[in-house]
A and B are shown apart, each in its own frame.
Chain A
Amino acid sequence: MLAQSAPLVPLVTPSANDLLDLLPELIVGFGFIALMLLDLVVGRQRWWLAVAAIVFLAAGFGASVWGWFDSGNGHTLYFGSFAYDKFSMFINCVLLFSSALVILISPHYLNRRGIHHGEYYALILAATLGMMLLAGAMSLMVIFLGIEGLSLSLYILSGFSRTEERSQEAALKYLLLGGFASGFLLYGMALVYGETGHTQLQQIGAALHSTTQADPMLLAGVVLIFVGFAFKASLVPFHTWTPDVYQGAPTSVTTFMSVTTKVAAFAVIVRVFTYTFVSLYSHWEVIVAVVAIASIVVGNVAALTQTHVKRMLAYSSIAQAGYILIGVAVGTLSNTSSSITGTTGVLYYLAAYAVTQIGAFAVITIMAGRGEDLDSYDGLRGLAYRRPFVAAAMGLFLLSLGGFPPTVGFFGKFFVFAAAVNANLTLLALWGIAGSAISVFYYLRVALLMYQRPKDEQQEYPWSRTTIAGGTALLAAAAGTLVFGILVAVVFNGAQAAQNAILPAIASTR
């Protein structure tokens, strides 16, 4: 035993090129650590941290754009652990853009709430890094670590207001339920690993293709993995934490997590389910479709009765997740005559949802008062007379969420539903359309309230002034909502290219 023989498996060191291809993640990871150190230098001038964070995010965005053109048909890094493909770069761009907008609206909001600490920016970057890792993850281990990376950061961020009970409650609730969901996810991964003997998605896909039998243990693993992902994407019936956490967390954090978590979660759902478990499609299709319908129904119906914008948007985000899931339920089915596939729809919808939802939450964030969020329906009455531009922007975001043309939200819904119809899942599309019809009611209710004359006895809300940074973020989100709605082809072609280059490629394993 003591005399050592040669290693059991030849030790292959990863190539240096792999590290270079990981550039976007490296930049954001470096930024995360650098911001912690910068915090010691800047003292009270914490807005410097916001500037630095945006610089890092922009650099990461640039690296992702470069990676988009460089990756070509895509290849894996680190022995199949990570993907370097257009799909992950598309998701990276959406994530980094969203994070940068959130950073823009944060300093003013945090100051007013009295919770302007340097850790905030570092944790936002850490969460973004976790999501980027999730977007490119090609191994069950990296998926789990990515999910934990974003979750840990978000647990802390939800409880960022340490003196406020509601924020602490939100953090604890999220932590406990999130830990539970991670357990499900890990159990599912263990079962899938036990059945296929691999943690790398490509090899799992290949192992599944080479057999026709579907072992119950394997299916249990697949379902448990879906439960873990569905929790992060706040899909019914794993949504119960969503309204409380969204309401309790500081609004800038809510903005961040309502958008980016969903983007990352759907990226990994698409990669794992649509492309890795593709041979098991007939088994998981029904589950995914039922969860999608349940999310649409529950989210929309519950949103009807809300009286606060934050809670309404929380429930509406559940419904939005349901629409996106329709694109996953479509799988890789498509009429050959049509170019609109489920994955393209999902990608377009995610980009659309990101700009719109960030905008809607940003309005609440930048108007927040000292120590409280001023988001009750009654208080919003007559906003248009005091803040015409903010109200117009909010109206635009609500129309986009409701799916009115020519906003980006309309095309998101259109592509997802069209993909469902193409795959002969018309019933699923009809559920989505019915849900959108209900949603118009509560979106327009808020929009109309803003344009009503304020009541005489109505107490004037001490709304915060719009800062230059906040205004910029609103303008960027509004521009995204309108411009990408008019120049649909830009995002659509991007989504299609991303879908065509996604790893693990089905063709090579079949």
Chain B
Amino acid sequence: MTLLLGIVMLLAAISALGVVLSRQTLYSALSLVVTLSMVAVIFLLLNAQFLFAVQIIIYAGAVMVLFVFIIALLNPEAEDRPAFDWRSWIGIAAVAGITILVFVTARNGITYNDGGLRGAQIGRVSDPYHTFSFPPDAVNAAGNVQTVAGQLFTTFILPFEITSLLLLVAAIGAVYLTRREHSGS
């Protein structure tokens, strides 16, 4: 299990490099899709199914569609269009393989006997650093979404509310900076 986690992390890191190193913007965007999907897979492997779904829907889905739209709007030239060469096939195969592997493993049940990669050092109860108060089995029993929601609306209610104000500021800024000047006002 830890090995699979390691492979996924490596893939996420490599595709993140691809975001930075690609010469064409569309390749960067597609690499980012891989990065975000792999982060989603990490969530799944850590028994956070809800975060996995959210990550896929919002980041790999909605946000990336916006990215690709904008790139398509700004770069209509033909030369920036990606051609399917061997690199993209490797990427697609790797993502597909990992995803299948993950789902097969997830179906068979994900079990950890420690708190993650650093569990050997920090996961012990005797260790003062030990603070894992959400063991996977207990979270699954109580419901993944329910636990996240419960925490979000009680312990973390203040950050949650501040985020809504943050979004309002961003919306105002977007409207102000892109608004056309009306003549006479």
Q: Chain A: residues with CB nearer than 8 A to chain B?
A: 1, 4-9, 11-14, 29, 32-33, 36, 77-79, 81-82, 117, 119, 122-123, 126, 129, 133, 139, 141-142, 145-146, 148-149, 152-153, 155-156, 159, 162-163, 194-198, 207, 210-211
Distance from A141 Cβ to chain B, minimum over Cβ atoms (Å):
4
Nearest B residue to A140 via CB reads B159
Bound-complex Cα distance A370 to B37 (A) = 52
Q: Chain B: residues with CB nearer than 8 A to chain A?
A: 118, 122, 128-134, 138-143, 146-147, 150-151, 153-159, 162-163, 165-166, 168-170, 172-173, 176-177, 181
Q: Are A7 and B118 in contact (CB under 8 A)?
A: no
Choose one: A133, A155, A198; the contact of B173 (CB below 8 Å). Answer: A155
Distance from B123 Cβ to chain A, minimum over Cβ atoms (Å):
10
Known interface pairs A78-B157, A117-B176, A156-B177. Does A9 touch B147 (Cβ–Cβ under 8 Å)?
yes
Known interface pairs A119-B176, A133-B162. Does A81 touch B129 (Cβ–Cβ under 8 Å)?
no
Bound-complex Cα distance A79 to B134 (A) = 18
Known interface pairs A8-B134, A139-B159, A159-B177. Does A129 touch B165 (Cβ–Cβ under 8 Å)?
yes
Bound-complex Cα distance A117 to B179 (A) = 12
Q: Are B158 and A148 in contact (CB under 8 A)?
A: no
Q: Are A126 and B159 in contact (CB under 8 A)?
A: no
Choose one: A9, A141, A207; the contact of B128 (CB below 8 Å). Answer: A207
Q: Are B159 and A210 in contact (CB under 8 A)?
A: no
Q: Are B133 and A162 in contact (CB under 8 A)?
A: no
Bound-complex Cα distance A148 to B167 (A) = 10
Bound-complex Cα distance A129 to B147 (A) = 30
Q: Are A14 and B154 in contact (CB under 8 A)?
A: yes
Known interface pairs A7-B142, A145-B163. Does A36 touch B172 (Cβ–Cβ under 8 Å)?
yes
Sample of 6 further A-B pairs with CB below 8 A, known A79-B154, A123-B169, A156-B173: A7-B147, A7-B150, A152-B169, A162-B181, A197-B132, A211-B129
Task: Report B-chain residues with C-beta under 8 Å of the C-beta of A8.
Answer: 134, 138-139, 141-142, 147, 150
Distance from A190 Cβ to chain B, minimum over Cβ atoms (Å):
12
Bound-complex Cα distance A194 to B130 (A) = 10
Task: Report B-chain residues with C-beta under 8 Å of the C-beta of A117.
Answer: 176
Distance from B19 Cβ to chain A, minimum over Cβ atoms (Å):
13
Bound-complex Cα distance A162 to B181 (A) = 10
Known interface pairs A197-B129, A207-B129, A207-B131. Does A11 touch B169 (Cβ–Cβ under 8 Å)?
no
Q: Are A81 and B156 in contact (CB under 8 A)?
A: yes
Interchain Cβ contacts under 8 Å between A and B, 16 examples: A7-B146, A8-B147, A14-B154, A32-B168, A77-B158, A78-B158, A123-B172, A126-B168, A126-B169, A142-B159, A153-B173, A156-B173, A195-B122, A196-B131, A197-B132, A207-B131
Q: Are B168 and A33 in contact (CB under 8 A)?
A: yes
Nearest B residue to A8 via CB reads B142
Q: Are B130 and A197 in contact (CB under 8 A)?
A: yes
Task: Report B-chain residues with C-beta under 8 Å of the C-beta of A4.
Answer: 142-143, 146
Q: Are A195 and B129 in contact (CB under 8 A)?
A: yes
Bound-complex Cα distance A195 to B149 (A) = 25
Q: Are A141 and B172 in contact (CB under 8 A)?
A: no
Known interface pairs A4-B143, A79-B155. Does A11 touch B150 (Cβ–Cβ under 8 Å)?
yes
Task: Report A-chain residues with C-beta under 8 Å of the C-beta of B133.
Answer: 9
Choose one: A79, A123, A142, A159; the contact of B162 (CB below 8 Å). Answer: A142
Q: Are B177 and A162 in contact (CB under 8 A)?
A: yes
Known interface pairs A8-B134, A149-B165, A197-B130. Does A1 touch B140 (Cβ–Cβ under 8 Å)?
yes
Q: Are A152 and B159 in contact (CB under 8 A)?
A: no
Most buried by B among A32, A36, A78, A129: A78
Q: Are A210 and B128 in contact (CB under 8 A)?
A: yes
Task: Report A-chain residues with C-beta under 8 Å of the C-beta of B143.
Answer: 1, 4-5
Task: Report A-chain residues with C-beta under 8 Å of the C-beta of B140.
Answer: 1
Bound-complex Cα distance A504 to B170 (A) = 32
Distance from A212 Cβ to chain B, minimum over Cβ atoms (Å):
10
Task: Report A-chain residues with C-beta under 8 Å of the C-beta of B169.
Answer: 123, 126, 149, 152-153, 156
Distance from B102 Cβ to chain A, minimum over Cβ atoms (Å):
19
Distance from A161 Cβ to chain B, minimum over Cβ atoms (Å):
11
Task: Report B-chain residues with C-beta under 8 Å of the C-beta of A11.
Answer: 150, 153-154
Q: Are A145 and B159 in contact (CB under 8 A)?
A: yes
Task: Report A-chain residues with C-beta under 8 Å of the C-beta of B172.
Answer: 36, 119, 122-123, 126, 156
Q: Are B156 and A141 in contact (CB under 8 A)?
A: yes
Bound-complex Cα distance A384 to B156 (A) = 56
Nearest A residue to B135 via CB reads A8
Bound-complex Cα distance A210 to B122 (A) = 14
Bound-complex Cα distance A163 to B166 (A) = 26
Q: Are B166 and A81 in contact (CB under 8 A)?
A: no
Q: Are B150 and A196 in contact (CB under 8 A)?
A: no
Distance from B174 Cβ to chain A, minimum over Cβ atoms (Å):
9
Nearest B residue to A6 via CB reads B142
Distance from A156 Cβ to chain B, minimum over Cβ atoms (Å):
4
Task: Report A-chain residues with C-beta under 8 Å of the C-beta of B134.
Answer: 8
Distance from B166 Cβ to chain A, minimum over Cβ atoms (Å):
5
Distance from A200 Cβ to chain B, minimum over Cβ atoms (Å):
9
Nearest A residue to B172 via CB reads A119
Bound-complex Cα distance A81 to B129 (A) = 20
Task: Report B-chain residues with C-beta under 8 Å of the C-beta of A78.
Answer: 155, 157-158
